[in-house]
Structure 1
Amino acid sequence: MTAPLEGKTVIDLTTALAGPYATLLLAGMGARVIKVENPERGGDTSRNNSPYLSSDGLSLTRRSPDDMSVSMMARGRGKESITLNLKHPESKQVFFDLVRDADIVVENYSAGVTRRLGVDYQAARQVNERIVYTSISGFGATGDAGDRKAMDTIIQALSGVMMTAGEPGEPPVRFGLPVGDLVAPLFAVIGTMAAVLHAERTGEGQHVDVSMLGALTSLVACEPFDALESVGFPLRTGAHVPRLAPFGTFRAVDGWFALCAPTDPFSRGVFRAMGREDLLESPDFATRDARVANADRLHGLIAGWAAERALAEVLEALDRHGAPAAPVRDTAEAVRDASVLSRGDVVPLVHPRFGHHDGLYGSGLPVVFSRSTVDLTRPAPGLGEHTETVLREQLGYDPDHIDRLRSAGVL
């Protein structure tokens, strides 16, 4: 069994989260990812994200050169690191030598930066016409976005996603997960794989341009919010979703649970679990349209029933009668779920020197192939750990050439 992308080489110009998450997925599927880091700025900005793992555990500050940020431990797995100062004139030739034998380049600079540095798609394709060059930016690598800076919260605000959660009239709700930073790289990997297939078929590479704002807004557009509002459904529904009633989160005596029972069979299961068989034929709740019209009353009945019972009792009753429900877990419990751990959806994080620290988990690659392997167990590299190996073994640079580049500030 081999990895799906075995034999493919990725030149990784990314930093922070959106870009590194895309290349992490490519590495997990078997691509060789050569991460290019700026030596003048201490490499990827994730290397300086607190907390850090040291020899004696987690710390808010870096105590020794061997300490590594948990962010880098998660995002740098499976990659090789070389240092290259792309602002130095002589760096261009090193970059082009890397691109010449590569399949993919991924970058997440602001729009226009790679062109000013001379390492954009047009420059890369001059040395390798098959190259797939993927750009992840806040507002798109082309068009009139200019050099606008984008952080996840900015993208959440502009996409409308902040106004899809919370109660009507309440302040906007920022998603706890950086959804803009995580959704865009998923589309980037999809686009990259499609372009690689095209290149294999035609011999032609291309530029793959993914906008964080576009990616997140496209998901918002999956729900017809304008249409829903026009017929009286509120845009923001808080804990419950009236148009799918019964649907939402409810509180038992000792915890919260989610309930999703919009169909007739599921709702009947809820009524039976509550011991309210009288509602089965009630004109207010027997049909889906009736339940939607009386959603507030229905959700109030469920809330009152659950509030007097232990969570285990509530879940057992709903499960026994076929109503889809689950406890609301905290993140620590969720990442330790035996099923996601066994599938590799979540994996322990490992420091290259200090090993695994109990409680540190990272995202795995949540795709199980029947004939291919995926792997994200190789620890993240130290800054520039593979510089000489890559330049010497892959590019054929002799030691004197490497020493000269290092002395000149190129590396």
Structure 2
Amino acid sequence: MTAGPLAGRTVVDLTNALAGPYATLLLAGLGARVIKVENPLAGGDTARNNSPYVGPDGLVTTRGSTADLSVSMLVRGRNKLSVTLNLKHPDARDVFADLVRHADIVVENFSAGVTGRLGIDHAFAAEVNPRIVYTSISGFGAQGGPGSGKAMDTIIQALSGVMMTAGAPGEAPVRFGLPVADLVAPLYAVIGTLAAVIQADATGVGQHVDVSMLGALTSLVACEPFDAFERIGLPVRTGATVPRMAPFGVFPAADGWFALCAPTDAFSRGTFTAVGRADLLDDPRFTTRDARVRHADEVHGFVAAWAAGRPLAEVLETLTRNGVPAAEVREPAQAVRDPLVLERGEVVPIGDPDLGLFGAGVPIRFSAATTDLDGPVPHLGEHNESVYGDLLGYPADRLKTLADDGVI
């Protein structure tokens, strides 16, 4: 196996919170050197102050000492180098420029317009290093959008329409438990960044990659023709089942829940056999997909009635034996301990092994490269000397002056 596919690439990471740090986490996991630039006056990345924390007393909800480390940072800060830089200080632009000269990529997730006011936007970076790929992740795009310009995940979920795709008709909007906007946007940002790097390698010229959280999430909503469903009278929100694909949905067994996905003719025949309704196999109400959709309530009714009094293990065994795609609905803590995802490195242990904590891995396997997120989380400014001194070549007296003047 070789090193990571991005070995030799350097990323200047100006990000905070989740969307930006997750993008740079993936780049780090793919082998890039990620230099995380943190504000010394604000205590660094805001994620450093997210509860819960891990420290000498184990897992706690409130930080009791400086040794306590946020679990959020434990997940998002791995494999990164931390330097401090007060970007509001007038001398910080020169330091930032030196970082950009040594980099292939800059990633930032400030609100629209902030990098311009600080004088560290794409135009400045491109003047310093024409090959630089400068990636911006924001709520509404680099030009801004509705509201204050500060976009939180819940705001984006609300505006994207995704809250009105879950739940049943007439119910209150459903906020996804995962911060899905904060996690989808960085995926597109990484795709765009790597595409721009390939183009820069070919042309010698970098560019600005601009990804909005609203656009990323709304584009996923648009993958399903919800407007077409409404026009022909199909409900957008269908609760636990999906009438336009029957049998299809989530159902309760006696001791748990299971998901069923059997809309094809072959899968539906297996379902009817499994639930003891082989008498319906040749019933014209259920022999075709369109017919089952017209009678979806009946189909889902007899599936639910059959499963309700049976143990989940029996339900799953019976459905699987009859070739029906079905699975247990797991709790998150159970899912991240699946031996398969652990073996593949898609989820990895983090922190002290005795605590049993897990974080995101890189869910990509390569045949001739490695991915790695085993690196420790850096302390704030831990790599000032190695980055500013060794990489940029700053002498010790300049480092002292920058620190004394509050630049780093």
8 Å contact from structure 1 (residues 246, 299) kept in 2 = yes
Q: 1:250 to 1:145 in 2, by over 3 A?
A: closer
In 1, the alpha carbon distance for the partners of 2:148 and 2:133 equals 23
1:281 aligned partner: 282
Deviation per CA, 1:242-272: give whole Å up to 9, x if none.
0111000001111100000010000011011
1:36 aligned partner: 37
Q: 1:390 to 1:59 in 2, by over 3 A?
A: same
2:379 aligned partner: 382
Deviation per CA, 1:282-339: give whole Å up to 9, x if none.
1111110110000011101100000121111110110001000000010111000000
Match status 1:63 vs 2:64:
yes
Range 36-45 or range 140-149, more displaced:
140-149
In 1, the alpha carbon distance for the partners of 2:181 and 2:288 equals 38
2:328 aligned partner: 327
- Give the deviation of 1:145 after TM superposition: 5.6
2:249 aligned partner: 248
In 2, the alpha carbon distance for the partners of 1:146 and 1:284 equals 51
- Give the deviation of 1:146 after TM superposition: 8.2
For the aligned residues, what is the CA RMSD? 0.9
- Give the deviation of 1:357 after TM superposition: 4.2
Between Structure 1 and Structure 2, how many residues are aligned? 407
> Runs of 4 or more off by more than 6 Å in structure 1?
none
Alignment of 1:4-403 (within 5 A): 4-142=5-143, 148-350=149-351, 355-403=352-400
8 Å contact from structure 1 (residues 111, 147) kept in 2 = no
In 1, the alpha carbon distance for the partners of 2:148 and 2:399 equals 34
Letter of the 1:167 partner, please give it. Answer: A
Tell me the SS of whatever aligns to 2:356: strand
Give the TM-score normalised by structure 1: 0.98
In 1, the alpha carbon distance for the partners of 2:131 and 2:240 equals 50
Tell me the SS of whatever aligns to 2:367: coil
Deviation per CA, 1:192-238: give whole Å up to 9, x if none.
00000000000010000000000000000000001111111101011
- Give the deviation of 1:116 after TM superposition: 0.2
8 Å contact from structure 1 (residues 111, 146) kept in 2 = no
8 Å contact from structure 1 (residues 10, 31) kept in 2 = yes
Letter of the 1:264 partner, please give it. Answer: D
Letter of the 1:220 partner, please give it. Answer: V
Tell me the SS of whatever aligns to 2:353: strand
- Give the deviation of 1:359 after TM superposition: 2.4
Tell me the SS of whatever aligns to 2:149: coil
Give the TM-score normalised by structure 2: 0.99
Range 77-86 or range 379-388, more displaced:
379-388
Deviation per CA, 1:6-25: give whole Å up to 9, x if none.
00000000000000000000
Letter of the 1:391 partner, please give it. Answer: Y
Tell me the SS of whatever aligns to 1:21: helix
8 Å contact from structure 1 (residues 10, 106) kept in 2 = yes
Percent identical residues: 68
In 2, the alpha carbon distance for the partners of 1:127 and 1:345 equals 37
8 Å contact from structure 1 (residues 112, 146) kept in 2 = no
Unaligned runs of 5+ in 1: none
- Give the deviation of 1:356 after TM superposition: 3.1
8 Å contact from structure 1 (residues 110, 147) kept in 2 = no
Letter of the 2:232 partner, please give it. Answer: V
